Chain A
Amino acid sequence: MEFIDYYKILGIDKKATEEEIKKAYRKLARKLHPDLNPNDKDAHKKFQQVNEANEVLSDPEKRKKYDQYGKDWQHADQFEQQRQSRGQSPFSGGQHFGGDSDQDFSSFFESMFGGSGRGRQTKFRGQDYNAELKLNLTDALETRQQTLTINGKNIRITIPAGIENGQVIKLKGHGAAGVNGGPAGDLFITFVIAPHPGFKRLGNDLFTTTTIDLYTALLGGDTTIDTLQGKVKLKVNPETQFGTKIRLKGKGFPIYKKEGEFGDLFVTYEIKLPANLTEKQKALFTELSKLT
């Protein structure tokens, strides 16, 4: 555990007045507060340090203890133990709050002030949590239940079919517990959907390619393709060109929160030319070429 220089964090002098501390805190809060930096974990972490520094330095009693034992905080621990053995706390002004809110404070803070002892009685909403959930494309085909473990708690969530890559869902009240009776924060889950080797997705539509032989492309015929819902037989028109795209209505991805509705599947034809021609084939193709 390292010593944390709260004055340095707030960028102030050790002789800073209460007003200067308040001003420094507000200046940094305006820059780093999570309300102003959504999805910025780095800013969030820095703000926690700023908040912690402010908690200590804006409270005259805590500041006094911090200044007294600051760099030698280990001695403060020993001092505290001696005092506790006599049934008296050196930080009698501090209030002790347990629970999840402890994680907002560094070990250093807890060591000096016995847990996240906030001096103020203001109710704070708990911190929001952000989590990422990786899914395969096929996992998002059907509405499914999944149990997540967030900070040791099991949370069962329903993932609606058709969820998109990067989509965020909010689980109200599943963030950190509030402080001083404040409401709990929320849990934001960002879905990361891995690319599929056979299909590309754009919104509710799916895109795939299929290869047909030269003769089917020229003369027409049948071909079978894989869709995410199973195999589908397609009729290939005569004289189908390379790169021809066809649309299979309703064979795409399920539409988010619209049960029974699907996007479309676009199939692009690629034509495989015959290789290793026999002499007879060469002669026939030569004959054909003379006809054009």
Chain B
Amino acid sequence: MKTTDLIPANEFCTHHHIELSFIHALKESGLIEITSIEEKVFVPISQLPQLEKLVRLYYEMDINLEGIETITYLLQRLNDLHQQVLLLSNRLSMYEGD
């Protein structure tokens, strides 16, 4: 990964007025991936939308980490089910109009 694809975690925290410990807690819960280079913590750019979403859930909606983990799991299931519905509806269209 190029270094330009990484954002220093402390800069992200300053920007969003959040604690660095929150990033570590998210990492420990497996909700985001971070990279450490020479004892400095970085967030891959690809993780930014997910991280910003988690920040909103935690700080704006006052949802604790356990709640965020549950929500993330359920949203993933919702997305999987949405994909499955799409697949089935595409299959069903095979038999419609015959």
Contact = CB atoms under 8 A, between A and B. Distances in A.
Interface string A15-55: 00000000000100110010110110000000000000000
Interface centre among A35, A125, A201 (most CB of B within 10 A): A35
Contact of B61 (A26, A39, A201): A26
Chain A binding site: helix, strand, loop or mixed by DSSP?
loop
Given A38-B78, A123-B15, A165 B53 contact: no
B97 to A, nearest CB: 7
Contacts, number: 42
Interface residues of A, number: 20
A164 B56 contact: no
B13 interface: no
A39 B82 contact: yes
Interface string A111-153: 0000000000011010000000000000000000000000000
A32 B90 CA distance: 29
Contact of A166 (B16, B57, B62, B90): B90
Interface residues on B, range: 20 to 34
Contacts of B66: none
Given A125-B52, A195-B93, A195-B97, A30 B86 contact: no
B75 A38 contact: yes
Nearest to B94: A200
Interface in A159-209: 164-166, 186, 195, 200-202, 207
B94 A166 contact: no
Given A30-B63, A200-B93, A166 B86 contact: yes
A30 B61 CA distance: 6
Interface of B: 15-17, 49, 52-53, 56-57, 60-63, 71, 75, 78-79, 82, 86, 89-91, 93-94, 96-97
Interface of A: 26, 29-30, 33, 35-36, 38-39, 122-123, 125, 164-166, 186, 195, 200-202, 207
21 contacts: A26-B60, A33-B56, A35-B53, A35-B57, A36-B71, A38-B75, A39-B82, A122-B17, A125-B52, A165-B86, A166-B86, A166-B90, A186-B49, A195-B93, A195-B96, A195-B97, A200-B93, A200-B94, A202-B91, A202-B94, A207-B94
